[in-house]
Amino acid sequence: MNTTLESIYTDFHSKLHRFIAGRVSDPDTAEDILQDVYLKIHSRIDGLREEDRLESWIYQITRNAIIDYYRRARPLDELSDSLASSPDDEPDAVSQLASSVKGMLNCVPEKYREALELTELQGLSQVELATRLNISGSGAKSRVQRAREKLKEAFLDCCHFEFDRLGRVVDYHPNCEKCARDDYPGNCGDDQTDDC
């Protein structure tokens, strides 16, 4: 195949940059994703059999890189953005719940808790998680999905949530007696007990 990374860069750089920038709000993040795209193209160019499908192949890699970025985007980053826009003098539901996340992890079984801590709190990709835990990539993906489900179940067992039209938490009410008490300083899951 006569296609080189240099010719791809020359022919597609500005189009790919605009494509990514239109889907990601931060310019630095768009640049990072574009660099990831070039790395993936470089490592996979020998696998491209039909040169006439080059453009669709490049855009598929680019779409996948954008999807991967959003999958890796940590929910706690979103929470911190929400907290930054909240008034400091009046704690809102999201800020109260954000402080509960680590405590609620105690309600998640160990193998799932470990997967969540490594991916969501320490920032490992699912590929890195698979390597670290010596499991397959699909096993790592499945474990993280199950861990998220179990964490969600723990929160739903603890609280009733109210959402806005975009699906964001706007308020919650504790279901369990421990969290509903005004004199209880913590949150469900702060201590690993049978209350989880």
- Are 175 and 88 in the same domain? yes
Domain containing residue 125: CATH number: 1.10.10.10
Q: By residue range, what is the domain housing residue 153?
A: 75-180
Better-predicted residue by pLDDT, 11 or 179: 11
Q: Which DSSP category does 134 fall into?
A: T
Read off the pLDDT band of 146 (50, 70, 90): very high
pTM: 0.46
For CA atoms 139, 142, 146, 148, the dihedral sign is positive
Same domain, 42 and 86: no
Q: Are 102 and 57 in the same domain?
A: no
Q: Which of 17, 39, 72 is the last residue in one of the domains?
A: 72
If pLDDT is split at 50, 70 and 90, which confidence band does 172 have? confident
Q: Which residue has the tokens 């975009």?
A: 166
Shared domain for 66 and 79, answered yes or no, is no
Residues 118 and 142 occupy one common structural domain: yes
Q: Are 168 and 81 found together in one domain?
A: yes
* Residue 21 token pair: 């920038």
3-state secondary structure of 111: helix
Q: Give the count of domains, the chain.
A: 2
Q: Residues 56, 79: one domain?
A: no
For 69-115, the pLDDT digits (tens) are: 888 775 545 544 544 444 444 345 666 666 677 778 888 899 999 99
Q: Choose the final residue of a domain: 49, 72, 95.
A: 72
Q: Which residues of 78-90 are buried (b: 16+ CB within 10 A; e: fewer)?
A: ebeebeeeeeeee
Would the pLDDT of 128 be above 50? yes
Question: Which stretch of DSSP H or E encloses residue 145?
Answer: helix 137-158
Tell me, yes or no, whether 18 and 54 share the same domain: yes
Q: With 60 as the cut, is the pLDDT of residue 68 above it?
A: yes
The answer to whether residues 134 and 156 belong to one domain is yes
Length of the chain: 196
- Residue bearing tokens 């009733």: 160
Q: Which residue has the tokens 């470089």?
A: 42
Q: What is the pLDDT of residue 174?
A: 76
Residue 147, Cβ neighbours under 10 Å: how many?
Answer: 23
The radius of gyration of the chain's CA atoms, rounded to the nearest angstrom, is 21
- Is 11 a domain residue? yes
Q: Is 191 a member of any domain? A: no
Q: Are residues 91 and 9 in the same domain?
A: no
- Determine the 3-state secondary structure of 27 from DSSP: helix
